[in-house]
Amino acid sequence: MTALLEVKDLKAYYGQTQALHGVSFALEQGGITTLLGANGAGKTTTLRAICNMVRTEGEVSFEGRSIRANPTESIVRLGFAHVPEGRGTFTTLSVDENLRIAAYTRSDKAAVKRDLEMVFEYFPRLRERMQQQAGTLSGGEQQMLAISRALMLSPRVMLLDEPSFGLAPLIVVDIFRILRRINSESKCSLLLVEQNAALALELADNAYVLETGRVVMSGPSEVVKNDENIRKSYLGY
């Protein structure tokens, strides 16, 4: 059975510089996969490459069909939600407008309304802040907003780039708990890039470890978690 998202020998370039040297992995339907590695390993680049935000070579296929040459916006319309590094909040728009723009491509107004309620269920704090300018939200709230925007796309796949970055530990635990709920309740597959390996391995089914643009290790997260050598060499703990 073909995986939902398959990446084979993916290379990526920033101008003349090559950042990915042939990365391969798969994301199963309904699964959670995590990409781990140190700074500069190429994790963010991988997510960007999947969404065609950088120059790529290789194979990226979604449900068996190649999406490598598609423009970013049409990849999104196929069912991808990318929560980028830095959250990508529309800082001058209100929280309400941030959520509405995420639903821009959807025509089923009733479904959008339902999803909005679902978002408020996960993140009740956002409901209070609807008219506030998004740039004035705290880091944690912006992360909640970013994940909400992703949810409003009603995605099949969610790509998350370091959702824990710069957030207080309690909030991070909260967010990861909600990610698990999203995975099971909304049937959304997750591809998670994280530096916080411990948390990511708790959540994910599979893990791939990247170093300088290559996959150096992969396997079920149980195995990776319990392998001391891997943890010490690549994950730092």
Q: Is 101 in the site for another protein (CB under 8 A)?
A: yes
State which residue, 84 or 201, has the beta carbon closest to another protein: 84
Beta bridge partners of 105: none
Q: What is the distance between the alpha carbons of residues 179 and 160, in angstroms, rounded to a whole number?
A: 10
Three-class secondary structure of residue 60 per DSSP: strand
Q: Is 191 in the site for another protein (CB under 8 A)?
A: no
Q: What is the distance between the alpha carbons of residues 35 and 193, in angstroms, rounded to a whole number?
A: 5
Q: Is 49 in the site for another protein (CB under 8 A)?
A: no
Q: What is the distance between the alpha carbons of residues 70 and 123, in angstroms, rounded to a whole number?
A: 33
- Closest contact distance (angstroms) between CB of 223 and another protein is 33
Both tokens assigned to 174: 């909260």
Q: Is 133 in the site for another protein (CB under 8 A)?
A: no
Three-class secondary structure of residue 10 per DSSP: strand
Q: What is the distance between the alpha carbons of residues 171 and 83, in angstroms, rounded to a whole number?
A: 17
Q: Is 132 in the site for another protein (CB under 8 A)?
A: no
- Closest contact distance (angstroms) between CB of 152 and another protein is 9
Counted residue by residue, the chain has a size of 237
State which residue, 82 or 225, has the beta carbon closest to another protein: 82
Site string (52-71) toward another protein, x via CB under 8 A: -x-----------------x
Q: What is the distance between the alpha carbons of residues 149 and 88, in angstroms, rounded to a whole number?
A: 10
State which residue, 13 or 202, has the beta carbon closest to another protein: 13
Answer for which of 38, 76, 203, 223 binds another protein (CB under 8 A) is 76
Residues of this chain that interact with another protein (CB under 8 A) are 15, 51, 53, 71-73, 76-77, 81-82, 84, 88-93, 97, 100-102, 104-105, 149, 153
